[in-house]
Structure 1
Amino acid sequence: MMIMWALPAGFLLGFLDFVWIKYVPFPLADLGNSLGTWAVAAFLLTYLRRWRMPVAVTGAVVCLVVAVPSYYLAAALIQNDDWSNLYNTVALLWMGFGVVAGVVFGAGGVLARTDGLLRLPALALPAAVLFAESVVELLRPESEPAFAAVTAALGLLVTVLLVRGWRERALVLLWSVPLTAAGWVMLTVAGFR
């Protein structure tokens, strides 16, 4: 059952992501190249499908790994990019990042809808990854402040939409601060700067 959701979700994420980049104006177009939006997509897939942990993590990984060649398929069909991009070293590297993000955000989607100590930090993951991406963008020499503002606003929006009540939203945003710092460190170490 999970494959029936994860495969099409991954295909659509990658393919429509490229279409978004190609035809939507800046700074919204840059959301297509945002690793934060892909991570949030994996989170939402597991949060909304209500799978148990092993199935959710597998589904999120499948979604993100399938999205990579789907993205390059769209690029080949729409702007005649090289077909080898579907499986070259860069694609494999992105698929590896998809595995890591799928594990973290797939598990986060499950924990966010369970009672317990990890619920609020898990709910903070989508905002934190978008905020971390905003910080990375602002610290680049060729910074795009408009894109950083869009990802930060999206982090706030996803929190408002996922979390009920202003008190709980405030707690989730408070949790997003250390998670943003951790995310920034991980993105920096991984070379996203």
Structure 2
Amino acid sequence: MKVFIRYMVSVRCKMIVQAIFDKIGLTCEVIDLGEVDVQGIISAGQLEQLRTGLLEAGLELIDDKKGVLIEKVKNVIVELVHYTDELPKMKNSDYISSKLQYDYTYLANLFSEAEGTTIEKYIIAHKIERAKELLRYDELNLTQISYKLNYSSVAHLSNQFKKVTGITPSYYRQLKHQGRTALENV
């Protein structure tokens, strides 16, 4: 049985979800971002315990098909931007469509309607958060970061970064104390 969970965007979330399922006595076969394969059937009591445990952890069960699909779009983007060493050299729309086996126009319209923003703006927000992370690590220069995040140039990254944050990447790097936004809040 599959269970779908909103706001599950990191390895830490996976660990929290595993602990919640263990506490309830449910066996997880596979835990992915936003999705858990559970062994067997979940009783009504266990489902309520699961719902409560997830809410206490800042997560929630997704009950409707559209909500599940929107969460899958988000998780594909999070995996793509934050957990892939190098972004694929293909259009984001093609990548998302191929991963989810849905027409991109359908996904884009559904996402915009539910989230109040476009998929592309959501991707940009995550790419800027990833750029902030890489800038804080101070291991890569701007050229390497722009290449890693699949920008056409350093200027393109810099322009988007300034548009989103109000400051340049170079200035951000100097502000070592500047905080990042949690992935579930992007």
Q: Same fold (TM over 0.5)?
A: no
Higher strand share: 2
Q: Which structure exhibits the higher relative contact order, with contacts defined as CA atoms closer than 8 Å and separated by 6 or more residues? A: 1
Structure of larger gyration radius: 2
State the TM-score, normalizing by the size of structure 1. 0.29
Q: Of Structure 1 and Structure 2, which has the larger fraction of its residues in helix?
A: 1
